[in-house]
Amino acid sequence: MKFAEMMLAEMKLPEMKLPSSLARRLFRIALWAATAALPLASLAQTQVPVAYTISLASADAHLVGVQIALPPGAAQRELQLPVWNALYQIRDFAEYVNWVRAKDSAGKPLPVREVDKSRWQIEHAENGALVEYQIFADAPGPFGAQFNAHHAFFNLAEILMYPTDARNSPVHVRFTQLPEEWHIATPLAPLSASEFTADNYDRLVDAPVEIGDFHESDFDESGEHFRVIVDADPADYDADQIVAALHKIVGAAASWMNDRPFDTYTFLYHFPRGPAGGGMEHAYSTAIDINAEVLKQNPRTLTGVTAHEFFHLWNVKRIRPQALEPPDYTRESYTRALWFSEGVTSTGSDIIELRAGLMDEKQFLAHLGDEITELQRRPAHLTQSVEESSLDAWLEGNAYYRRPERSISYYNKGELLGVLLDLAVREASQGRASLREVLQWMNQNYARKGRFFNESAGVREAAEAVSHADLAWFFAKYVAGTEEIPWNDFFRTVGLRVQTATNKIADPGFIASRNFDGPLSVVAVTPAGDAERAGLQVGDTILELQGKSAAADLRQEMAHLAPGDTLKVRVRGRRGAERELKWKVGSREEVSYELEDMDSITPAQRARRAAWLKGEGQSAANPEAPAP
Ligand SMILES: [Zn+2]
- φ, ψ (nearest 5 deg) of residue 51: -110, 120
Candidates 152, 158, 225; CA nearest to 194 is: 152
User: With 50 as the cut, is the pLDDT of residue 203 above it?
Assistant: yes
User: With 90 as the cut, is the pLDDT of residue 621 above it?
Assistant: no
- What confidence category does residue 127 fall into, taking pLDDT thresholds of 50, 70 and 90? very high
Rounded to an integer, the average pLDDT of 426-434 is: 97
Q: What percentage of the chain has pLDDT greater than the value 90? A: 83
Return the minimum-mean-pLDDT range out of 334-348, 349-363, 572-586: 572-586
Cα-atom radius of gyration of the chain, to the nearest Å?
Answer: 26
Helix/strand/coil for 324: helix
Predicted confidence at residue 542, as pLDDT, reads: 92
Q: Please give the distance, rounded to the nearest whole angstrom, from the Cα atom of residue 420 to the centre of ligand 1.
A: 19
92: Cα separation from own chain's centroid: 20
Candidates 160, 261, 156, 257; CA nearest to 210 is: 156
Helix/strand/coil for 35: helix
287: Cα separation from own chain's centroid: 9
Predicted confidence at residue 489, as pLDDT, reads: 98
Candidates 199, 150, 174; CA nearest to 49 is: 199
* 368-381: pLDDT as tens digits: 999 999 999 999 99
Other C-beta atoms closer than 10 Å to the C-beta of 108 total 9
Cβ partners under 8 Å of residue 398, min gap 6 = none
Are 539 and 399 in contact, with CB atoms under 8 Å apart?
yes
- What confidence category does residue 624 fall into, taking pLDDT thresholds of 50, 70 and 90? low
Overall size of the chain counted in residues: 628
Rounded to an integer, the average pLDDT of 608-613 is: 98
CA distance 451 to 444: 10
- φ, ψ (nearest 5 deg) of residue 400: -60, -40
Average pLDDT value over all residues in the chain: 91
Q: Please give the distance, rounded to the nearest whole angstrom, from the Cα atom of residue 344 to the centre of ligand 1.
A: 9
Predicted confidence at residue 274, as pLDDT, reads: 83
Predicted confidence at residue 251, as pLDDT, reads: 98
Q: Distances from the Cα of 306 to the Cαs of 178, 222, 283, 296, 382, in angstroms?
A: 29, 19, 14, 16, 32
Predicted confidence at residue 620, as pLDDT, reads: 63
Predicted confidence at residue 528, as pLDDT, reads: 92
Predicted confidence at residue 560, as pLDDT, reads: 83
Q: Please give the distance, rounded to the nearest whole angstrom, from the Cα atom of residue 179 to the centre of ligand 1.
A: 33
Return the minimum-mean-pLDDT range out of 244-248, 321-325, 441-445, 548-552: 548-552
CA distance 142 to 269: 9
Q: Please give the distance, rounded to the nearest whole angstrom, from the Cα atom of residue 11 to the centre of ligand 1.
A: 35
Q: Please give the distance, rounded to the nearest whole angstrom, from the Cα atom of residue 527 to the centre of ligand 1.
A: 35
CA distance 212 to 230: 10
Task: Identify residue 148 by its one-letter amino acid code.
Answer: N
Q: Please give the distance, rounded to the nearest whole angstrom, from the Cα atom of residue 239 to the centre of ligand 1.
A: 24
Rounded to an integer, the average pLDDT of 71-80 is: 97
Greater pLDDT, 590 or 170 = 170
* Bridge-based pairing state of the strands 112-116 and 119-122: antiparallel
User: With 70 as the cut, is the pLDDT of residue 4 above it?
Assistant: no
CA distance 121 to 79: 6
Predicted confidence at residue 625, as pLDDT, reads: 54
Tell me the angle at which helices 239-257 and 435-445 cross, rounded to the nearest 10 degrees. 80
CA distance 323 to 456: 11
Cβ partners under 8 Å of residue 392, min gap 6 = 384, 401, 407
Predicted confidence at residue 30, as pLDDT, reads: 42
* 520-558: pLDDT as tens digits: 899 999 999 999 999 999 999 999 888 887 766 677 778
Helix/strand/coil for 614: helix
Q: What is the dihedral of CA 592, 593, 594, 600, to 10 degrees?
A: 130
Return the minimum-mean-pLDDT range out of 6-10, 72-76, 569-573: 6-10
Across-strand partners of 229?
Answer: 216, 268
Rounded to an integer, the average pLDDT of 473-478 is: 98
Across-strand partners of 97?
Answer: 135
Q: Please give the distance, rounded to the nearest whole angstrom, from the Cα atom of residue 321 to the centre of ligand 1.
A: 14
Rounded to an integer, the average pLDDT of 351-360 is: 98
Predicted confidence at residue 15, as pLDDT, reads: 33
CA distance 12 to 560: 63
283: Cα separation from own chain's centroid: 11
User: With 80 as the cut, is the pLDDT of residue 128 above it?
Assistant: yes
User: With 50 as the cut, is the pLDDT of residue 18 above it?
Assistant: no
560: Cα separation from own chain's centroid: 29
Predicted confidence at residue 24, as pLDDT, reads: 45
Q: Please give the distance, rounded to the nearest whole angstrom, from the Cα atom of residue 281 to the centre of ligand 1.
A: 7
Q: What angle do CA 107, 112, 113 make, to 5 degrees?
A: 175
By the CB criterion, residues less than 5 angstroms from ion ligand 1 are: 342
Other C-beta atoms closer than 10 Å to the C-beta of 109 total 10
> DSSP secondary structure string, 197-259?
EESSHHHHTTS-EEEES-EE--EEETTEEEEEEEES-GGG--HHHHHHHHHHHHHHHHHHHT-
Q: Please give the distance, rounded to the nearest whole angstrom, from the Cα atom of residue 627 to the centre of ligand 1.
A: 30
Across-strand partners of 612?
Answer: none
124: Cα separation from own chain's centroid: 41
Rounded to an integer, the average pLDDT of 587-610 is: 96
- What confidence category does residue 276 fall into, taking pLDDT thresholds of 50, 70 and 90? confident
Q: Please give the distance, rounded to the nearest whole angstrom, from the Cα atom of residue 280 to the centre of ligand 1.
A: 7
Are 73 and 50 in contact, with CB atoms under 8 Å apart?
no
Rounded to an integer, the average pLDDT of 26-45 is: 44
Predicted confidence at residue 231, as pLDDT, reads: 98
User: With 70 as the cut, is the pLDDT of residue 264 above it?
Assistant: yes
Rounded to an integer, the average pLDDT of 309-332 is: 97
User: With 60 as the cut, is the pLDDT of residue 31 above it?
Assistant: no
Q: Please give the distance, rounded to the nearest whole angstrom, from the Cα atom of residue 305 to the centre of ligand 1.
A: 8
> DSSP secondary structure string, 129-159?
EEEEEEEE-B--STTSEEE-SSEEEE-GGGT
Sign of CA dihedral 622, 623, 624, 626: positive
